[in-house]
């Protein structure tokens, strides 16, 4: 079973990878890039430090452009980010048998709805897995126990989220980034404890 875990270098996607690995899946971590800015370095480093196979998947920049247009029109990032996530999952479903991401119980965006998961699995003959059964407290406790974490204000040099290339494009278009993406602290996985 060819298994991809969408990977940002954060604790959620790292934990998803660890669970599948410890259940015997041959996990490949996959980080998405659209060719605007190489936001994949943090994820590549985290993957290497954890000892997982890792791949950067370069997808059509049009997906990112569409998302940025949506975000500018909405003055809000959710629909744009969700658009990217859905396009990415659809792409992966043609290449892998099992697709996973680090979506957890409280996450709203990006997230596949129950009927979207059912449709994806039926149309593409794949299996989709996420962390919806686990809440943030359990993920935090488990991550603190398993991983060395680096906590810092999220910026384009320490995260491989979709958000990073969106920020670069918004900036090029003269948009005020910090109103759309408020500053937040993020935990990056930098190795095993």
- Please say which residue, 69 or 121, places its beta carbon nearer to a second copy: 121
Pairwise CA distance, residues 30 & 60, whole Å: 15
Nearest to 3 by CA among 73, 92, 132, 74: 92
CA dist list (Å): 26 to 39, 48, 91, 126, 188: 25, 15, 19, 15, 23
At 192, phi and psi to the nearest 5?
-80, 155
115 touching a second copy, by CB under 8 A = no
Between CA 9 and CA 16 the distance in angstroms is: 11
Among 2, 19, 41, 86, which residue sits at the site for a second copy (rule: CB under 8 A)?
Answer: 19
Question: In this chain, which of 138, 148, 190, 191 binds a second copy, going by CB under 8 A?
Answer: 138
Instruction: Tell me the HSE value of 6 on the side-chain side, using a 13 A CA sphere.
Output: 26
Of 15-23, 45-53, 71-79, 158-166, the segment contacting a second copy by CB under 8 A is: 15-23
Residue of 36, 56, 72, 142 interacting with a second copy (CB under 8 A):
142
| Least Cβ distance, residue 130 to a second copy (angstroms) | 4
Q: Which residues make up the interface to a second copy (CB under 8 A)?
A: 1, 15, 18-19, 22-24, 98, 103, 105, 114, 117, 121, 127-135, 137-138, 141-142, 145-146
């Amino acid at each position: 079973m060819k298994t991809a875990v969408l990977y940002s270098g954060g604790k959620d996607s790292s934990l998803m990878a660890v669970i599948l690995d410890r259940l015997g899946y041959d996990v490949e971590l996959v980080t998405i890039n659209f060719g605007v800015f190489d936001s994949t370095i943090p994820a590549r480093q985290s993957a290497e430090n954890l000892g997982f196979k890792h791949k950067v998947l370069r997808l059509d920049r049009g997906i990112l452009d569409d998302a940025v247009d949506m975000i500018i029109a909405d003055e809000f990032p959710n629909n744009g980010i969700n658009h990217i996530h859905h396009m990415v999952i659809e792409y992966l479903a043609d290449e892998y048998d099992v697709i996973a991401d680090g979506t957890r119980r409280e996450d709203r965006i990006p997230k596949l709805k129950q009927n979207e998961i059912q449709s994806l699995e039926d149309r593409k003959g794949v299996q989709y897995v996420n962390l919806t059964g686990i809440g943030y407290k359990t993920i935090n406790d488990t991550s603190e126990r398993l991983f060395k974490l680096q906590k810092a204000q999220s910026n384009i040099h320490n995260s491989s989220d979709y958000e990073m290339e969106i920020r670069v494009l918004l900036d090029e278009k003269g948009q005020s980034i910090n109103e759309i993406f408020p500053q937040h602290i993020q935990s990056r996985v930098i190795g095993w404890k």
